[in-house]
């Protein structure tokens, strides 16, 4: 089955740029979606189709996808961005949705 690998944690100072990676074999050929989940809350879609932003998501959130790595980039990181972030793809070979293990973003 298809596997997505994320770093367990990423930390960044306020105002800096945080990058969260999601690795998978030839992930560049798939559409990647990213979710933000704060403690005690349901996930929120922050990026879909690799780089599109749903309405209401700040422009500070952006995404890219190429080769074996997809990346969620959060510019000018704020304390309110502290959360777990998950990448997700649809694996056509198994007809399964697949989530990465999640990355905890700490804003120092």
- The contacts of residue 14 (CB under 8 Å, 6+ apart) are 77, 78, 79, 107, 108
- What's the CA gap between 17 and 29, in Å, rounded? 26
Site membership for other proteins, residue 45 (CB under 8 A): yes
CB of 21 to other proteins, least distance (A): 16
CB of 35 to other proteins, least distance (A): 7
Residues 89-108 that bind other proteins (CB under 8 A): 90, 92, 95-102
Sequence length of the chain is 108
- Closer to other proteins by CB, 13 or 106: give it: 106
- What's the CA gap between 49 and 59, in Å, rounded? 15
Query: Where does this chain bind other proteins (CB under 8 A)?
Result: 1, 31, 33, 35, 37, 42-45, 48-49, 54, 84, 86, 88, 90, 92, 95-102
């Amino acid at each position: 089955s298809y596997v997505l690998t994320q770093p367990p944690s990423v930390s960044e100072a306020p105002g800096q740029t945080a990058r969260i990676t999601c690795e998978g074999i030839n992930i560049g050929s798939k559409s990647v979606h990213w979710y933000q989940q704060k403690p005690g809350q349901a996930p929120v879609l922050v990026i879909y189709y690799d780089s599109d932003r749903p309405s209401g998501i700040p422009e500070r959130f952006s995404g890219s996808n190429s080769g074996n790595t997809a990346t969620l980039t959060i510019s000018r990181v704020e304390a309110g961005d502290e959360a777990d972030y998950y990448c997700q793809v649809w694996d056509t070979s198994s007809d399964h949705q697949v989530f990465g293990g999640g990355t905890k973003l700490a804003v120092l």
